[in-house]
Amino acid sequence: MTLIVLSYWDIAFAAVLLIVNGILSFFLQLGVHRQLLVSAIRMVIQLTLIGYVLLILFSLVSPLWTGLTALIMVGFAGYEIMSRLERRFHGVWAYGLGTGAMLFAATLVTVLALTTQVQPDPWYHPRYALPMFGMILGNTMTGISLGLNTLISNTVRERGSIEGQIALGRTRSEAFKPVVRQAMRSGFIPILNAMSASGVVSLPGMMTGQILAGADPTLAVQYQILIMFLIGGATGIGVIIAVLVGAYRLTDDRHRLRIDRLTEA
């Protein structure tokens, strides 16, 4: 099957749909037309630049440059997690908690997949490592940000209940258990919805891209199932680590609630 090549006019025509949304937002006073414009411009610039960067990386096939690129991706993802929180921790914890959990989970799962299932030669080849890492990282970022936001907001809202349970003799882990569980459930929601809808409501992005590129649909399905399992595993690991460490940070060794360690975003 011949690969269909898009022209700039094809892309511009698709952008008209976004412009229509911006016009509707302006007249309906939704207040999102500027965000749509900025996000669209940012997306075009970022994707264009990464396309040229990937061309260079594919020609180099260097573990150093592949790893450095992955770290830069994690750095930006960590900032996105921090910016989505209504409240955040003071100091380095504001950026480090979500970033650290995401780095550990996404790196562990990606390296495991590259060395055991996909097995490119070499295993760190950027053509395979970076797209896979990006998909896992993006979904893990969403889960962690939801989990942390739920943890922090519920802790602030349920402050009286938590402190009351601690005053009655419960440990911090016992008092925090309902809040922690709810935060973890929130973090799992995006990947649960994605897996439930795959193949029935939607065709996931990786599978759609392979099919449009002319790949056998059954082979595309196999890769998509693998990716969804990897995303689910990384999201779970990242959410659990971030929420547990976040709950630990919101208390101290004397089993006191430490709301003072939070600040407004």
**Residue 56 parent element (H or E):** helix 33-60
Q: How far is CA 243 from CA 9, 145, 186, 249, 256, in A?
A: 46, 10, 11, 10, 18
Report, as ranges of residue numbers, the positions in the chain whose pLDDT lies below 50. Answer: none
User: What is the structure's pLDDT at 98?
Assistant: 94
Helix (H/G/I), strand (E/B), else coil: 262: strand
pLDDT reported for residue 2: 64
- What pLDDT does residue 20 have? 93
d(CA 227, CA 132): 8
What's residue 189's pLDDT?
94
Quote the tokens at residue 64. Answer: 């150093």
Beta bridge partners of 263: 88
Instruction: Give residue for tokens 């970033």.
Output: 99
The whole-model pTM stands at: 0.87
pLDDT for position 1: 54
Q: Is 169 left (phi over 0), alpha (psi -120 to 50) or beta?
A: left
Distance CA 81, CA 185 (A): 17
Q: What is the C-alpha separation between 39 and 227, in angstroms, rounded?
A: 27
Query: For residue 243, what pLDDT is reported?
Result: 96
pLDDT for residue 65: 95
**Where in the chain are the domains?**
1-60, 63-264
